Structure formats: C-alpha cells, structure tokens
Structure 1
Amino acid sequence: MSFESLPRQREQNHFNLIRMIAASSVIISHSGNLSLSWDTPDPLYSLIGIDLGATAVLAFFAISGYFISLSFERRTSNSAFLLARVTRIIPALLVVSLACAFLIGPLFTDHPLGAYFSDESVWLYPLKNISLVGILYAIGLPGVFMHNPTPNIVNGPLWTLLFEGACYAGLFLIGVLGLLRRERFAVIVLAWAPAYLIIRYGPWPQFRYFAVFSLPFVVGVAFYLFRASGIRNGRVALVLFATAFALIVTGHGVQELWSVAVAYCVLWLGFARAPALLAYNKLGDYSYGTYIWGFPVGQVLAALIPGIGVAAMIALSLPLGVLCGALSWFCVERPALKLRNLGDSPHRQAATTA
C-alpha cells in the first residue's frame, strides 16, 4: 500500500488524491466493525459483495509497485533507497504507536494504571510495530477497549504494513540482482507466479496475504517497466473492471481478476487527464497518517459514545481521522523526509526524486 512520497512530477498525476480516497475508504469500511460488531460487513460488501477496505488496500499496493520501482531506478545508492523507505514508514508509525500505548491506553484501560504500566506488552507495543515483523502480534493493550463492539484491538489496519515491507524487500532484491528491467520482467513473473500459487492456495492460510497483496504490487511494477509501451489504456480498464465487477456481483468472482482490475484501473486513473483535480496536490500527503490513525480514532469514539451508529461513526471518525492525518504529515512525516538527504551532496540531493 504505497504511502511513498511521490516524485517531483506528482503535479501531473492524481495519486495523492486516490490514496486519500483509499485511506478514507478504509475508515468507512471499519465503521460497522467499530460501532456494531467485528463481524459486521462493511457498507459496500453489504450492497454488492465487495469489501471496500480490502479493495482500497489493493489500490495502495498497485500504486506502491509503480512508485517504489521508480524510486529504486532513481536512487542515488542502495542505502539511500532503504533510508527513504524507513523515513517514510517508521517515524509516523512510531508516533501513533507511542500515542496508543502511553496516551490512549491509560485513558481507556479498565486496569489500574499501576498494573497497566507494569505489563511488558505496553512497552513492547511500539517496538513490535516499528519492527514490522512483530506487528501481527501487537494487536491489543491491557484492558484497552475491552467493552467496545470490537474489543481489545487498538489499531487494526497496521498489520498490512508487514506485507508492504515484504514487497519493498522483494523489489529491492530483484533490483540489486539487475532484474528490474522491462526485458527481464518475464524472469520476475516466472519466479513469482509459482510462489504466489503455493502461498495463496497452499496449506498455510496465515501466509496467504503475502500472495494476495503481491499481485497488485506486481501489476504496478509492470506498469512502471512498460510505461512507454502504451500499457495504460482506458478501454482495457473499462472492460477489465466491468468484467470483474459483473462476476463478483453474480457470485462468480475470481479474486485474482478483481485484484488485477482494481490495480489496472487505479494506475490508469492516476495518470488520467483531469486538470481540475491536480489542485489537490497542493494540500499535502495525508493518506498515511489518515490510514494509521483512523482505527484508534474510531475506537475512542466507540468508547466515548456507547451505541454509536454506523452513520454517526463515519460522520465523526472520517473528519477526525483526516485531521490526524494532516497533523501527522506536517508534524512528523514531512520533517522525517528531510532525513533522506542527510550526508548527500547538493548535487545528489537535487537528483533525489523519491
């Protein structure tokens, strides 16, 4: 799910806006879970059988595949590429994790504060999150949100960041091996496709998301590598989406087709000619902050307003989540991005575009 800051040519595309819509969609998707119960279908799934939040995450990974490929190609060094990934993801993740553990947690735990702070899971919570590997095990905090409709889950969406990091690592490996080239894309696919099938349909359901999210990511990589070959086509996007949508609505949907259709359409829309929408790029890049703050904001609302309905949850959590996203961008993320250029010469800094 790319929250990568886009290159300086970003004023010519709409990906900041698309990512903001996707982050907002995740908040809307979780509104029923947070206000009613964890197994409540999201609003779009209830209507047509398509999960809005999962679709938004597919869009993030497609955009990620494109722009992380661009970032690798334009890197000044391998270490600069890795530093760029760390400074984009970790600082804001650390801040929201600290806020959950040491601000939200003490305010909403049903444990005595002494018992809360003496529990090692409180202190390990931020460390597990920023490690990414441990993020799957940093689900709850002692006694926090235990009486909410979705109990003991502090920040549900963070688990997807592990798979984001895995895709980054895979692309980095492909890149340093010299395979991130158009003429060698077939080698990438031949190596990836069997691994996809084994992980996706093998007897290890706990690992299947490594495959699920890799598919739109690979589509994004293909879009980047073949960007000069006319791969973006509005008619193809329309046919793909219409076919995938019709199959899902009629109960014959194929997950892979839906993933490819979403990835293709998002990448086509991002470069579509819509001059009026380009003004959004002047606002800032709030999508990552919105994504990582939306769920805890909703949990706080559910705790403060017992019985809050789905519509009220959306009406309150969405603007508050966006506000937290904006604060995260201006106070944490944008300052952290300046660390990318530490130690670079002025010439190398000018060359850095992602």
Structure 2
Amino acid sequence: MAHLSQGRTLEAAIGTHDNGFNLVRLVCALAVVVYHTWMMNVAEPMRDPITRFLNPNTDLGAVAVGVFFVISGMFVSRSWMGDPHLGRFAARRVARIVPGLFVCLLVTTVVAVGFFSTFGWAGLFESAPWRYIFGNTVLHGLVYHIPPGHLRIAGVLGGQPLNGPLWTLYWEGRMYVMVALIGLAAALPLRTWMRGVALFLLLAANVYPEIVSGYVWETRMWSLFLTGIVLQTMAPNVNIGWRHVACAVALVLLNWTRSADQTPSPLTWFGIALVAVTLALCAGSMRLPGWAAHLQRHDYSYGIYIWHWPVIVMLRETLPPMGPKRLTVVSLAVVIPLAMMSWHLVERPSLRVVRRWLGRSETAKAVTV
C-alpha cells in the first residue's frame, strides 16, 4: 500500500506520468479481447462469466469501452484546455489515432485478402480492399451512418467484418470534434465554460435524447465521455480513493434487494458504471510500484484494441476449433507483441514527430512576433 497515492488530486495524478491510467487502459483493452474471444469462439460460443453476471444490463466489452470513454473525455479535454488551438489540437488527435490505425488496416487487409479470400493476392489489385483501408483510416468522414458494405470486403473471410471494434473510433472522432466546438465557442473562462456545456449536454442527452440523436451515438457512452470532461474541469479539487470505491459498492448493494425484487437483475447500468468508473479513477490516480513503471510511459492499449479482432478471426479460420479460454490465450500471444510493435514503431514515433513539429512552429512564431 506504500505505493498508493495519498491525498493526491486527480489533477496532480494526470499532470505527470506517475499514475496508473495506462494500466487501467491496458486492463480495459484486455477485457475487450476476453469478451470477443468468448463470443467468437467456434467450439463453444458463449458469454464470458463477467458478462453473464452483468446480463441483461450490459456486458464486459461495453463496460471496458465505457471506462475508455471516461478516460478519453478527461485527457482529450485536458489537451484542449492546455492548448486551445484548433490546428494543434487536430494534429495531436490525428497523430494518436491515424498512423497506428493505418498500419493495422494495411497489414491485416493485405493478409486477409492474400490468404483468406476467394481471389487470393490478385484481389489486392481491386479497389475494394483499398477503399476499405483508406475509408476506415479517415474514419469515413465521421458520417452518422456508415453502410455495412464499407466495413467488410466481399469474398474476404466469408464476408464477415474484418475489424468489428473500429466503429467505436468513428464516434470517438465525433467526440473530439465536439470538444473542439465547445472550446471554440467559449464565452466564459475555459474551465467554467467546458464544465457548464458538458453538464448541459449530459442532461440533454439523457432527458431529451431525440434532440441530440443526430449527433449522439449511444447515450451511455456519450454520457461517459461528457462525464470525463466534467471530471477534468474539476480535477484540481477531485480526490478519488478506495473509500470512494467502497461507497460506490455500498450504494449498489443498497439497491440490490429492491432491483432483485422488481427487475430481472439486481444490478442496474448506472450502478455498474458507477463502480467501474470509480474503480478506474482510483486505480488511475495511484503511483505504481517499480515493476509497473514501464507502463506509465508506454501505452499498448490502443494497439491491442485495433489489432485483436482481425487476429481472432484469422486464428479461428486457421486453427482447429478451440474453446474460449484457449482462444483467449492464443489470441493474446499474437496480439500483445503486435500491439507493442505498433506502439514502439508507429504510434510513439508519430507522436514524437508531431510534438517536435508543433514545438518548432511555436518557436518560429515567437521569433517572428
């Protein structure tokens, strides 16, 4: 317990690498892999034990993605508040998402077309694979509805989606635009303005969902991203530790008997999200022990998230049918090295290039002025 943060605010935790948020993201990414390997295995298609416990309110994958969105809301809004410039904000967001995504799409599509299609390597001379690669790389222009045919390639892997989880990235991108629009429209001090607008949108999304339905993807995830923004604006005064986790659990337990008596499940979505998010914030605010320091500077979660689906699908096509536990182990044995290479060879170098470029731009501007 000596390594746990004592009396540290959320602002103090996220203002340095000395926190556990990369570890939280890693755990969430691994949870998504577990959810999909159990769901997609051929031998015994079933739900994982945690999803069976959470059913019918939600599932393990949705909870993990929900925590992702809270953390994303915090860090993306922090990025804008620290440097409220549209061009630099966009450059940072593109650098974090696009290079790793493009390489993943390129490699997995080429392999899928070459080895798992009806036309083999000749299929790479058709337009469909490249339309799939570049369309998904630019997140399909963040349009509200993407035709299903744009998310798969006919004749490749039996026509099944090549990378199912990518649809969440389109909505993540729309949320980035929302943060920029809120920031650009600021009519009060930025922290106060972003808090007020985020609270207003949070209320609107849940009380009048039909009004914002043209922009909102799914009210739950939208609400969690907005919650992340609110938390960031309050970060200097927020301190979340184990007693807050205990209070969240106690609240869920107090509601347990009532819900069990009146609904099919003693749990509720709000209770599940409350405990998951509070636990994530508590763990993220920690100072990690020395053995985990590597994770504070290296974020493998995004690579795991974008690579795992095509790996699972191709392993399922290549190997004999196997149960969910074995498929999970085999998939992680392939996905984790790919995610590490993605971070060290693509994602991190891209971020460094953009940071250097932005630094030089600021220096040149200062000299000119």
TM-score by length of 2: 0.80
In 2, distance between residues paired with 1:24 and 1:196?
Answer: 30
In 1, distance between residues paired with 2:16 and 2:40?
Answer: 35
Aligned residues: 336
Measured at CA, do residues 52 and 143 of structure 1 come closer, stay the same or move farther in structure 2, by a change above 3 Å?
same
Measured at CA, do residues 203 and 282 of structure 1 come closer, stay the same or move farther in structure 2, by a change above 3 Å?
closer
In 2, distance between residues paired with 1:191 and 1:223?
Answer: 14
In 1, distance between residues paired with 2:173 and 2:212?
Answer: 23
Q: How does 1:121-200 map to 2 (within 5 A)?
A: 121-133=128-140, 136=146, 137=148, 138-146=150-158, 152-178=160-186, 180-182=190-192, 185-199=195-209
Q: Name structure 1 gaps, 5 residues minimum.
A: 1-6, 350-354
Q: 1:268 aligns with which of 255, 275, 282?
A: 282
**Structure 1, residues 268-323: CA drift from partner, whole Å, max 9, x if none?**
22003544565243662111111100111111110111312211101110121111
Greater alpha carbon shift after TM alignment, 78-87 vs 337-346 = 337-346
Tell me the amino acid that sits aligned with residue 234 of structure 1: W
Greater alpha carbon shift after TM alignment, 63-72 vs 258-267 = 258-267
Map of 2:9 onto structure 1: none
Map of 2:35 onto structure 1: 29
Tell me the amino acid that sits aligned with residue 332 of structure 1: V
Measured at CA, do residues 185 and 282 of structure 1 come closer, stay the same or move farther in structure 2, by a change above 3 Å?
closer
In 2, distance between residues paired with 1:38 and 1:89?
Answer: 34
Q: 2:81 aligns with which of 73, 84, 108?
A: 73
Measured at CA, do residues 190 and 39 of structure 1 come closer, stay the same or move farther in structure 2, by a change above 3 Å?
farther
Q: Name structure 2 gaps, 5 residues minimum.
A: 1-12, 364-369
Q: 2:309 aligns with which of 290, 295, 301?
A: 295
Structure index of larger Rg: 2
1:315 to 2:329 alignment: yes
Tell me the amino acid that sits aligned with residue 109 of structure 2: A
Measured at CA, do residues 20 and 233 of structure 1 come closer, stay the same or move farther in structure 2, by a change above 3 Å?
closer
In 2, distance between residues paired with 1:18 and 1:144?
Answer: 34
Aligned residues with identical type, % of pairs:
27
**Structure 1, residues 39-92: CA drift from partner, whole Å, max 9, x if none?**
742342124435111111011111111111211121273211110000000011
Q: 1:42 aligns with which of 48, 57, 67?
A: 48
In 2, distance between residues paired with 1:321 and 1:43?
Answer: 22
Map of 2:338 onto structure 1: 324
1:107 to 2:115 alignment: yes
Q: 1:96 aligns with which of 86, 104, 112?
A: 104
